[in-house]
Amino acid sequence: MKNWISFPRVEGTATRQAHVRLPAGTYEREMGREGFFGPATQMHHAHPPTGWTSFDGDLRPRAFDLNRSEELADCPLSAVRLMGNGATQVRMWRFQGKMEHLVRNADGDDLLFFHQGGGHLFCDYGHLEVREGDYVVLPRNTAWRLESDGPVTALMIEATNDAYQLPHKGLVGTHAIFDPAVLDVPALDDAFQGQKNERETVVRVKKRGRVNAMVYPFNPLDAVGWHGDLAPVRINWRDIRPLMSHRYHLPPSAHCTWVSARFVICTFVPRPIESDPEALKLPYYHSNEDYDEVLFYHRGQFFSRDNIHPGMVTYHPSGFPHGPHPKAYEVAQKFERKETDEVAVMLDTRDPLDVYEGMAATEWPGYADSWKAK
Does residue 265 share a domain with residue 201?
A: no
Does residue 88 share a domain with residue 149?
A: yes
- Give the residue-averaged pLDDT of 186-204: 98
Task: Kindly report, residue by residue over 85-112, the tens digit of the pLDDT.
Answer: 999 999 999 999 999 999 999 999 999 9
Full domain range(s) for residue 272: 27-64+239-371
Domain finish residue from 191, 222, 237:
237
pLDDT at 192: 98
Task: Give whole-number Cα distances, 15 to 11, 30, 260, 335, in Å.
Answer: 10, 12, 34, 21
Does residue 210 share a domain with residue 309?
A: no
Most confident of 285-294, 325-334, 349-358: 349-358
Instruction: Give how many domains the chain has, as a whole number.
Output: 2
Does residue 230 share a domain with residue 367?
A: no
Does residue 272 share a domain with residue 232?
A: no
Q: Say if residue 38's pLDDT is above 90.
A: no
- CATH number of the domain bearing residue 107: 2.60.120.10
* Phi and psi angles of residue 182, each rounded to the nearest 5 degrees, phi first: -85, -5
Under 8 Å CB-to-CB from 311, ≥6 apart: which residues? Answer: 65, 66, 67, 115, 153, 297
Separation of first and last alpha carbons in the chain: 45
Task: Kindly report, residue by residue over 260-284, the tens digit of the pLDDT.
Answer: 999 999 999 999 999 999 998 888 8
Does residue 293 share a domain with residue 193?
A: no
Domain finish residue from 237, 259, 278:
237
Domain finish residue from 191, 214, 237:
237
pLDDT at 261: 96
Task: Kindly report, residue by residue over 120-148, the tens digit of the pLDDT.
Answer: 999 999 999 999 999 999 999 999 999 99
**2 assigned to some structural domain:** no
Does residue 284 share a domain with residue 225?
A: no
Task: Kindly report, residue by residue over 46-92, the tens digit of the pLDDT.
Answer: 999 999 999 999 999 999 999 998 899 999 999 999 999 999 999 99
Does residue 131 share a domain with residue 34?
A: no
Residue 68 and residue 307: Cα distance in Å, rounded?
15
Q: CA 63, 69, 72, 77 torsion: positive or negative?
A: negative
Under 8 Å CB-to-CB from 308, ≥6 apart: which residues? Answer: 63, 297, 302, 314
Vertex 301 angle, CA 300 and 305, to 5°: 145
Confidence grade of residue 327 (pLDDT, cut at 50, 70, 90) = confident
**174 assigned to some structural domain:** no
Q: Say if residue 254's pLDDT is above 70.
A: yes
**120 assigned to some structural domain:** yes
pLDDT at 374: 58
**209 assigned to some structural domain:** yes
Does residue 118 share a domain with residue 74?
A: yes
Q: Say if residue 16's pLDDT is above 90.
A: no
* Amino acid occupying residue 192: F
Residue 59 and residue 315: Cα distance in Å, rounded?
10
By DSSP bridging, strand 119-123 and strand 233-236 are unpaired
Does residue 228 share a domain with residue 351?
A: no
The residue among 311 and 338 whose pLDDT is bigger is 311
**7 assigned to some structural domain:** no
SS3 180: helix
SS3 125: coil
Does residue 55 share a domain with residue 102?
A: no
Span of 8-12, 64-68, 255-259, 260-264 with lowest mean pLDDT:
8-12
